[in-house]
């Protein structure tokens, strides 16, 4: 008896789909805007999985250019029939409704190569494909209800597919609207035939806390379908937000060679509060059949931490299952990029990479020089050793990325005027960038620099060291507890936008309370003359903000190795509507790039990257709150996140590169401004 440990695939591996061919199992996941797209995994026993390739893996196969986070490749379905693997998927561009749609790709080898996409005349998302035993093939998917009875009501349609022409034929049938009245987003449908009866498995409730799995059955593939009286047959929403796994759903069934049934599905593991930085992950659960209905996780009714698989041999987890530490070599299939192939800006050398400087930044939906791996562990050290002769305006470094608008970077920057080579840490939140810390570097321009992102739960430390020096802290980020959210945007598609806002008092009330509680305070009235009381209030401000509760949930993150040239691209020329996906991690919850460097000056950056899942060295001592975030920065950052008239007017008055020496004057000016009503 071998035990499978959940999650089966930790990190940003959402929307799993599975099929069996003989004794072999194959699984694929969503990747959204990342490239290569749609990773394919192989197993002989459902316990040990290894990645064998990607469905979208070559230039020109599918265009992801300009697709922002929350767009890209959604919810694939993988099936095998008569020696051919079939995969259907949706390409979504939330900035252009006319772009993309549902498509079909095929291969005789699941490792590839896969065909170019065949676009289907079908709207909506989450397509699936079913091969009936009479030789007919049926496409089905989800779309917004044509005549909705409630908000966000969807409908599941089914229509025949001609396998020769790869075109939809015959009439369309709407077969499902969800198991419960007022349910939102009945989606991710899959059809099966068991003992002569057709079964429709569907997710509903939205890909977040209320996610659930429901089932219906019919005597004909086109219906009518009758729902299970026990629907939903799996959900964790009744367990509360403190559950170890939340948001379970989007299941796909497979029958093993021994006749047993199993399901793969997605879920999230919150930690350090209601934050699931690792994104939507893939889980395995057993399935039994009782009274003609599937029962998921029988006797337990929830996703277990461990699953016994009777027919499995000794467990040999693949690197994608999170058990490997050490250098991530260039030939490792875990590498992921943004929108285009690495061949356009990177070349392998030994166990590292040479990167070509590019003008595109992480803050725009283009093709930056980005090489990333999914964060798969709550505690992990990721290190990159870089060597580059950088000019002014160029940088190379590490980033923790959630989206264009939310990421953290720690990078080496070229000398600029009197400033020598430096390491800078920057947090971009909601499209606004704040410098968290800087560190001057000794040594020559081409000496090696080691950059580190060290995660301990919700605490992220950014460190750097020249040559063989011991790394020192550049900045620390406490994503779940401070104003800073390293991974702060929801990663779930098809749900309403989250509010990336912390529930903190208005600055008027906060400053008044601080002045009242600090030496020299009087009655707490805000006046222009603050003097020493303002300085004391500034020193106390981080501690007050430290207890703020976040009202947004975090999502999948990618740690990346990237270069860029600043000041050469106008990100403001492009604006895209933003919804929730995994990058991710991503994770929300995996995405691609454009031909040519766009930069007449080609510079090479030498570096290698290593991840350590179980670090042996002790975690660097935590910095005090005031050291993690300077008081002046607290004031300015608080001003950007308050619900107050014209917050942009406040932000415009202060530099985000404030020093502690400026704190008293800045708080005094802020108090004056707010005292006057923000005019």
Tally: H helices and E strands in the chain:
6, 42
pLDDT of residue 615: 34
Cα separation, 497 vs 94, in Å, equals 13
What 177-181 contacts at long range (C-beta under 8 Å, 24+ apart), as own/partner pairs, is: 177/145, 177/149, 177/153, 178/153, 178/154, 178/202, 178/204, 178/214, 179/204, 179/214, 179/216, 179/227, 179/228, 179/231, 179/232, 180/204, 180/214, 180/231, 180/232, 181/150
Residue 38 pLDDT grade (very low, low, confident, very high; cuts 50, 70, 90): very high
Question: What's the start-to-end Cα distance of the chain, in Å?
Answer: 70
pLDDT of residue 629: 27
Higher pLDDT: 414 or 407? It is 407
pLDDT of residue 598: 28
For the chain, give every domain's residue range.
2-321, 349-496+552-612, 505-547+630-675
Higher pLDDT: 511 or 592? It is 511
Q: Is the pLDDT of residue 219 over 50?
A: yes
Q: Is the pLDDT of residue 185 over 80?
A: yes
Cα separation, 341 vs 350, in Å, equals 19
Give me the count of residues in the chain: 679
pLDDT of residue 654: 35
Residue 665 pLDDT grade (very low, low, confident, very high; cuts 50, 70, 90): low
pLDDT of residue 533: 52
How confident is the model over 300-324, as a mean pLDDT?
94
The percent of residues in the chain predicted with pLDDT above 90, rounded, is 62
pLDDT of residue 499: 24
How confident is the model over 641-657, as a mean pLDDT?
33
pLDDT per residue as tens digits for the range 151-166: 999 999 999 999 999 9
Residue carrying structure tokens 């034929």: 169
pLDDT of residue 417: 63
Q: Is the pLDDT of residue 287 over 80?
A: yes
Residue 539 pLDDT grade (very low, low, confident, very high; cuts 50, 70, 90): low
Superfamily of domain 2-321, CATH level 4: Glycosyl hydrolase domain; family 43 (2.115.10.20)
> Domain 349-496+552-612 has what CATH class?
mainly beta
**Residues 537, 539, 543, 549, CA torsion sign:** positive
Residue 418 pLDDT grade (very low, low, confident, very high; cuts 50, 70, 90): low
β-pairing, 50-56 with 72-81?
Answer: unpaired
pLDDT of residue 119: 97
Residue 112 pLDDT grade (very low, low, confident, very high; cuts 50, 70, 90): very high
pTM: 0.75
pLDDT of residue 88: 98
pLDDT of residue 655: 33
Per-residue DSSP letter, 541 = H
Q: Is the pLDDT of residue 505 over 80?
A: no
Residue 669 pLDDT grade (very low, low, confident, very high; cuts 50, 70, 90): low
Listing DSSP states for 160-177 in one string gives EEETTTTEEEEEEEEEES
Residue 370 pLDDT grade (very low, low, confident, very high; cuts 50, 70, 90): very high
Q: Is the pLDDT of residue 415 over 90?
A: no
β-pairing, 591-592 with 118-119?
Answer: unpaired
Lowest mean pLDDT among 68-77, 352-361, 665-674: 665-674
pLDDT of residue 559: 52
pLDDT of residue 667: 54
Lowest mean pLDDT among 112-126, 127-141, 470-484: 470-484
Strand order, beta sheet including 246-255: 246-255, 261-268, 281-290, 293-296
pLDDT of residue 537: 53
Q: Is the pLDDT of residue 226 over 50?
A: yes
Residue 596 pLDDT grade (very low, low, confident, very high; cuts 50, 70, 90): very low
Higher pLDDT: 545 or 397? It is 397
Cα separation, 392 vs 420, in Å, equals 10
Q: Is the pLDDT of residue 593 over 70?
A: no
Q: Is the pLDDT of residue 542 over 70?
A: no
Residue 555 pLDDT grade (very low, low, confident, very high; cuts 50, 70, 90): very low
How confident is the model over 607-625, as a mean pLDDT?
36
Torsion of CA 602, 607, 611, 617, to 10 degrees: -140
Q: Is the pLDDT of residue 524 over 70?
A: no
| Packing angle, helices 663-675 and 507-517, rounded to 10 | 120
Residues whose CB is less than 8 angstroms from the CB of residue 309 and which lie 6 or more positions away in sequence, other chains included:
1, 2, 3, 4, 45, 46, 47
How confident is the model over 386-400, as a mean pLDDT?
90
Average pLDDT, the chain: 77
Strand order, beta sheet including 72-81: 72-81, 84-92, 100-107, 118-119
How confident is the model over 345-364, as a mean pLDDT?
94
How confident is the model over 12-16, as a mean pLDDT?
97
pLDDT per residue as tens digits for the range 60-85: 999 999 999 989 999 999 999 999 99
pLDDT of residue 433: 94
Question: Which residues are known catalytic residues?
Answer: 15, 187
Same fold, 2-321 and 349-496+552-612: no
């Amino acid at each position: 008896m071998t035990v499978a440990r959940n999650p089966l695939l930790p990190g940003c591996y959402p929307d799993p789909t599975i099929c069996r061919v003989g004794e072999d199992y194959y699984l694929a996941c969503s990747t959204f805007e990342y490239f290569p797209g749609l990773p394919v995994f192989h197993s002989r026993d459902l316990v040990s999985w290894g990645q064998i390739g990607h469905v979208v893996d070559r230039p020109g196969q599918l265009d992801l250019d300009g697709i922002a986070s929350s767009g890209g490749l959604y919810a694939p379905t993988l099936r095998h029939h008569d020696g051919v693997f079939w995969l259907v998927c949706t390409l979504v561009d939330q900035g252009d409704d006319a772009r993309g749609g549902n498509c079909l790709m095929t291969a005789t080898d699941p490792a590839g190569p896969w065909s170019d996409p065949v676009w289907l005349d079908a709207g909506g998302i989450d397509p699936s494909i079913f091969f009936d035993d009479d030789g007919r093939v049926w496409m089905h998917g989800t779309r917004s209800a044509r005549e909705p009875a409630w908000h966000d009501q969807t409908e599941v349609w089914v229509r025949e597919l001609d396998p020769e022409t790869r075109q939809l034929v015959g009439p369309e049938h709407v077969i499902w609207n969800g198991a419960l009245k007022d349910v939102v987003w009945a989606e991710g449908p899959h059809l099966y035939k068991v003992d002569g009866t057709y079964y429709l498995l569907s997710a509903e409730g939205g890909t977040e806390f209320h996610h659930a799995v429901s089932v219906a059955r019919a005597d004909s593939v086109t219906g009518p379908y009758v729902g299970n009286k026990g629907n939903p047959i799996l959900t964790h929403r009744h367990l509360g937000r403190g559950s170890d796994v939340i948001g379970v759903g989007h299941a796909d069934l497979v029958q093993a060679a021994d006749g047993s049934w199993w399901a793969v599905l997605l879920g999230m593991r919150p930690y350090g509060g209601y934050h699931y930085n690792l994104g939507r992950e893939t889980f395995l659960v057993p399935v039994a059949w009782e009274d003609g209905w599937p029962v998921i996780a029988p006797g337990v009714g929830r996703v277990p931490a461990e699953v016994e698989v009777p027919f499995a041999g000794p467990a040999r987890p693949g690197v994608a299952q999170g058990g490997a530490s050490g250098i991530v070599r260039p030939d490792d299939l875990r590498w992921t990029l943004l929108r285009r192939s690495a061949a356009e800006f990177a070349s392998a050398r030994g166990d590292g990479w040479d990167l070509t400087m590019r003008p595109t930044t992480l803050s725009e939906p283009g093709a930056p020089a980005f090489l990333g791996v999914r964060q798969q562990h709550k505690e992990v050290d990721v290190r990159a050793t870089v060597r580059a002769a950088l000019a002014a305006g160029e940088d190379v470094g590490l980033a923790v990325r959630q989206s264009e608008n939310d990421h953290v970077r720690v990078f080496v920057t070229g000398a600029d005027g009197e400033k020598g080579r430096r390491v800078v840490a920057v947090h971009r939140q909601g499209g606004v960038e704040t410098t968290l810390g800087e560190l001057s570097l000794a040594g020559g321009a081409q000496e090696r620099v080691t950059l580190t992102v060290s995660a301990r739960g919700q605490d992220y430390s950014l460190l750097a060291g020249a040559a063989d020096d011991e790394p020192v802290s550049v900045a620390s980020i406490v994503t779940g507890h401070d104003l800073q959210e390293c991974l702060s945007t929801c990663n779930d598609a098809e749900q309403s936008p989250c509010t990336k806002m912390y529930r903190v008092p208005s600055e008027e009330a906060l400053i008044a309370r601080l002045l009242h509680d600090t030496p020299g305070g009087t009655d707490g009235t805000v006046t222009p003359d603050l003097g020493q009381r303002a300085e004391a209030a500034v020193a106390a401000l981080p501690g007050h903000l430290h207890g703020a509760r976040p009202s947004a949930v975090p999502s999948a993150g990618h740690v990346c190795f990237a270069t860029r040239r600043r000041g050469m691209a106008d990100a403001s020329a492009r604006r895209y509507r933003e919804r929730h996906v995994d990058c991710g991690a991503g994770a929300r919850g995996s995405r691609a790039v454009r031909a040519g460097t766009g930069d007449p000056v080609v510079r090479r950056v030498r570096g290698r990257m290593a991840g350590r899942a179980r670090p042996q060295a002790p975690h660097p001592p935590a910095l005090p709150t005031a050291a993690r975030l300077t008081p002046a920065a607290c004031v300015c950052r608080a001003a950007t996140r308050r619900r107050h008239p014209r917050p942009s007017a406040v932000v415009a008055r202060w530099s985000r590169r404030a020093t502690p020496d400026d704190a008293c004057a800045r708080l005094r000016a802020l108090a004056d401004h707010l005292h006057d009503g923000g005019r």
